[in-house]
Amino acid sequence: MKTLVLGLGNPILSDDSVGIKAAQEIGKRLNNPQITVAETSAAGLSLLDSIAGYDKAIIIDAVQTKNGKAGQIYRMGPEDFSYTKRFSSPHQINLITALEVGKMLGLVMPQKITIFAVEAKNVTNFGEQCTPKVEQAIPKVVEMVLQELNAENP
């Protein structure tokens, strides 16, 4: 069972780096040849390249919701975004469409995808640090991902 843990974001755009920081921390604490930890700043079709070939994928990213509080963590599946399936996102195409394209073309796509999203406060100022509440969420989301992996790979 090949599993991918993918941190998504921009490492120099404040809270947008939260997924990458969490993935780096997870990478330090794992030693399982079945689990690959990676990070990427790409989106859209490039995501397809990153996740193709794995049986399971866990994606960690920043999110901004209407009434969200900075540092709040959400655990979601692709179905939570199903209403966006036919919508072409600003990033070329979104995750759901990328998955559908992959399936349509017969690529091996993960059977299960779990998304951990951390509510971001600042994604418009360049900086290597997250804002305090988002920084505090990093160890929490790391634990959540490790628990998820432990439950699936006992």
Partner 1 sequence: MKKIMIDPITRLEGHGKIAIFLNDDGGVANVYFQVPELRGFEKFSEGRPAEDMPQITQRICGVCPEAHHMASTKALDDLFHAEPTSTAKKLRELLYSSFYVTDHTTHFYILAGPDFVMGPDAAPAERNILGVIAKVGLELGGAVIRTRHENHWVIQTIGGRPIHPCFGLPGGVSKAINEEERAKIEEIAKASVEFAKLSLKVFNDVVLKNKEYLDMILSDTFTHRTYYMGLVDKNNKVNFYDGKVRVVDPEGKEFCKYAPREYLEHIAEHVEPWTYLKFPYLKKVGWKGFVDGKDSGVYRATPLSRLNAADGMATPLAQEEYEKMYSTLGGKPIHHTLATHWARLIELLYAAERMLELSRDPEITSPNIRNIPTATPDEGVGIVEAPRGTLTHHYITDEKGVIKKCNLIVGTTNNYAAFYMSVKRAAEDLIKPGKKITEGLLNRIEMAWRPYDLCLACATHALPGQLPLEVVIYDAQGNELQRLSQGIS
Which residues of this protein are in contact with partner 1, per CB under 8 A? 8-13, 16, 19, 40-46, 48-49, 61-65, 81, 83-97, 100-101, 104-107, 115, 117, 120, 123-127
Taking the least distance from each CB to partner 1, the nearer of 77 and 153 is 77
Taking the least distance from each CB to partner 1, the nearer of 13 and 149 is 13
**85-93 own/partner pairs: CB under 8 Å, 24+ apart:** 89/44, 91/43, 91/44, 92/43, 92/44, 92/45, 93/44, 93/45
Taking the least distance from each CB to partner 1, the nearer of 35 and 117 is 117
- To the nearest whole angstrom, how small is the minimum distance from the Cβ of residue 62 to partner 1? 6
Assess contact for 35 and 3: CB atoms under 8 A. yes
- To the nearest whole angstrom, how small is the minimum distance from the Cβ of residue 28 to partner 1? 20
Strands 112-119 and 73-76: antiparallel
